[in-house]
Amino acid sequence: EAAVTQSPRNKVTVTGGNVTLSCRQTNSHNYMYWYRQDTGHGLRLIHYSYGAGNLQIGDVPDGYKATRTTQEDFFLLLELASPSQTSLYFCASSDHNTEVFFGKGTRLTVV
């Protein structure tokens, strides 16, 4: 069964801290995505990638970096975390002709 695994599931960090959110998919999909979800908003796309070494800018990229090290692994990096980045983060994978599969989410709190 298609699977997307996110880690950690919960994270608390201080303002100015570094955070890395990890995502691994076993779907053999080319595309991977990072979204954030805040109260009153749907899911907003931060960054996405269509293969190892590739990175595409999404709709709300400010303050975030991302890296796709392999087809399976996609990382979201917050190098100077701010309270405005407190959110629920979702990773997903798909291909251009498939449905999208989501991880269970990572709840990040920046204090």
Partner 1 sequence: GQQVQQSPASLVLQEGENAELQCNFSSTATQLQWFYQRPGGSLVSLLYNPSGTKHTGRLTSTTVTKERRSSLHISSSQITDSGTYFCAALFNTGNYKYVFGAGTRLKVIA
- The footprint of partner 1 (CB under 8 A) covers 31, 33, 35, 41-45, 48, 50, 56, 58-59, 88, 90, 92, 94-102, 104-105, 107
Contact between 15 and 110 under an 8 Å Cβ cutoff? The reply is yes
Using the minimum distance from each CB to partner 1, give the nearer residue, 52 or 102.
102
CA angle 54, 77, 109 (to 5 degrees): 145
Q: Which one, 13 or 30, has the nearer CB to partner 1?
A: 30
**What's the min distance (Å) between Cβ of 18 and partner 1?**
25
Q: CA torsion angle for 24, 27, 33, 39 (degrees, to 10)?
A: -80
